[in-house]
Amino acid sequence: MGTLGKAREAPRKPCHGSRAGPKARLEAKSTNSPLPAQPSLAQITQFRMMVSLGHLAKGASLDDLIDSCIQSFDADGNLCRNNQLLQVMLTMHRIIISSAELLQKVMNLYKDALEKNSPGVCLKICYFVRYWITEFWIMFKMDASLTSTMEEFQDLVKANGEETHCHLIDTTQINSRDWSRKLTQRIKSNTSKKRKVSLLFDHLEPEELSEHLTYLEFKSFRRISFSDYQNYLVNSCVKENPTMERSIALCNGISQWVQLMVLSRPTPQLRAEVFIKFIHVAQKLHQLQNFNTLMAVIGGLCHSSISRLKETSSHVPHEINKVLGEMTELLSSCRNYDNYRRAYGECTHFKIPILGVHLKDLISLYEAMPDYLEDGKVNVQKLLALYNHINELVQLQEMAPPLDANKDLVHLLTLSLDLYYTEDEIYELSYAREPRNHRAPSVFKNYDLDQDGYISQEEFEKIAASFPFSFCVMDKDSSGA
């Protein structure tokens, strides 16, 4: 959704997930002086990590970074150093090198250690690879080149008869049920509630509808992995990134569904009732701190196929339009989504961000900082900054939503949101509900006595007679004179 309205300067009160009534307003508090800028969690975390990394934080060669990761393990495979560098390297390395190339470098180090008869180094290398497999196993499941290189590494280890090493770098367990379970974890829906439901969802109160939309949104959001964000950075788009594509499709589907729910009603009064209901849904979404679905719902209500419905809007109370205005200000792109960022930063506990805004931030950061410094060293600060921004989003997936979903209703909502209409089809429905007004939007409409949208010759002559001067002479005999 684009800019929805003009943003206000006043900062908003923090939202803490309170359950106010349907007429609750987004309140603004005034201030006489600007608030001091507070560092974000990502900035604080990055500073702490830079301190812990010491000299490496200023930049290091790729070989030095790999060696430091390997030396993080002791002879028993335990981490003897802070694992932050490991996390950053294994999650963000594809910014500078592919996973297969990284493993190839590690394999070359293993070969060198064999030639130098350094079994301790060989063991630490295997501990490092085991950590990679254990913590980021999905890379080995999804990256064919990495899988192929891993097979070469396994063959190398087997050829040298190190059974312990072979066991450490075993990847067969990746496809086991216990490993795959992490990928399919979902929040649970309540299967005990059985009841009849309607595809029009008339039976649902705004609170229940907002909770089920939030259930679907969170289920989609938590599927996005660290690797998905990294793929997005590397490719600069969501193409061939199924989890992000599904998340975006859900947001667009909700926005379109809101439009169709309004346009499905035959009279202006009924359409206004649906419009008002979705304003209340938006309020509940804001209280749930689900900003992504809130953006989708407000985007649907502000779509031109709905905003053009003048007869419908005439039945919408002033206080509802006021709430809509406040919502559009909250979500406005003005000053780089300043109002949203302030409100989002003040929210605690469960919250769902506007994914598009944060993806834009990632791309901006990625393009603003070079991969390498002037001396050819890897820009570790860039890796840290990107890692911390992504990690903030991933950590939100661990926060359970404060809601209970009905399985049957979730299924029906999913089916409804999967229905696709083109923009032309939606506008066709909009114009069918309220056709264009072809009447002349000028003073002449006052002289359209039969209200047919046209000025007849007789009506025109009456207009001319009302003026004290002649501005047109009718050629009644068609003589051309």
**Same domain as 200, residue 123:** no
**Helix (H), strand (E), coil (C) string for the chain:** CCCCCCCCCCCECCCCCCCCCCCCCCCECCCCCCCCCCCCHHHHHHHHHHHHHHHHHHCECHHHHHHHHHCCECCCCCECCCCHHHHHHHHHHHHCCCHHHHHHHHHHHHHHHHHCCCHHHHHHHHHHHHHHHHHCHHHHHHCHHHHHHHHHHHHHHHHCCCHHHHHHCCCHHHHCHHHHHHHHCCCCCECCCCCCCCCCCCCCCHHHHHHHHHHHHHHHHCCCCHHHHHHHHHHCCCCCCHHHHHHHHHHHHHHHHHHHHHHCCCCHHHHHHHHHHHHHHHHHHHHCCEHHHHHHHHHHHCCHHHHCCHHHHCCCCHHHHHHHHHHHHHHCCHHHHHHHHHHHHHCCCCCECCHHHHHHHHHHHHHHCCCECCCCCECHHHHHHHHHHHHHHHHHHHCCCCCCCEHHHHHHHHHHHHCCCCHHHHHHHHHHHCCCCCCCCCHHHHHCCCCCCCCCHHHHHHHHHCCCCCCCCCCCCCCCC
Q: Is the pLDDT of residue 443 over 50?
A: yes
**Same domain as 382, residue 316:** yes
**How far apart are alpha carbons 49 and 86 in whole angstroms?**
12
**How far apart are alpha carbons 297 and 260 in whole angstroms?**
12
In a domain, 152, yes or no: yes
Going by C-alpha positions, the residue among 19, 1, 4 that lies closest to residue 289 is: 19
**What pLDDT is attached to residue 22?**
37
Residues 144-159, mean pLDDT to the nearest whole number: 94
**What pLDDT is attached to residue 65?**
93
Residues 259-272, mean pLDDT to the nearest whole number: 94
Confidence of residue 41 (pLDDT cuts 50, 70, 90): low
Which CATH number does the domain housing residue 114 bear?
1.20.870.10
Q: What are phi and psi of 79, to 5 degrees?
A: -75, 120
Pairwise pLDDT comparison (459 vs 79), residue with the higher score: 79
* Pick from 45-54, 124-133, 259-268, 370-379: least confident: 45-54
**What pLDDT is attached to residue 238?**
83
**Same domain as 371, residue 332:** yes
**What pLDDT is attached to residue 402?**
85
Q: Is the pLDDT of residue 10 over 70?
A: no
- Look over the chain and give the mean of its residue pLDDT values, rounded to a whole number: 81
In a domain, 210, yes or no: yes
pTM of the model: 0.74
Share of the chain above pLDDT 90, in %: 55
Q: Is the pLDDT of residue 36 over 70?
A: no
Q: Is the pLDDT of residue 267 over 90?
A: yes
**Same domain as 208, residue 350:** yes
pLDDT tens readout for residues 304-362: 999 999 999 999 999 999 999 999 999 999 999 999 999 999 998 999 999 999 999 99
**Same domain as 234, residue 166:** no
Q: Which of 108, 141, 173 is the last residue of a domain?
A: 173
**What pLDDT is attached to residue 141?**
84
pLDDT tens readout for residues 165-177: 999 999 887 765 4
**Same domain as 246, residue 372:** yes
**Same domain as 130, residue 226:** no
Share of the chain above pLDDT 70, in %: 74
Assess contact for 187 and 401: CB atoms under 8 A.
yes
**Same domain as 94, residue 129:** yes
In a domain, 8, yes or no: no
**What pLDDT is attached to residue 7?**
36
List the domain range (segments joined by +) for residue 428.
196-433
**Same domain as 219, residue 161:** no
Residue entry with tokens 């934080």? 57
Q: What's the structural domain count of the chain? A: 2
Residues 27-55, mean pLDDT to the nearest whole number: 52
In a domain, 345, yes or no: yes
Pairwise pLDDT comparison (381 vs 472), residue with the higher score: 381
Q: Is the pLDDT of residue 43 over 70?
A: no
**Same domain as 118, residue 70:** yes
Assess contact for 401 and 190: CB atoms under 8 A.
no
Confidence of residue 416 (pLDDT cuts 50, 70, 90): confident
**Same domain as 118, residue 267:** no
pLDDT tens readout for residues 225-239: 888 898 888 888 888
Residues 414-418, mean pLDDT to the nearest whole number: 84
In a domain, 137, yes or no: yes
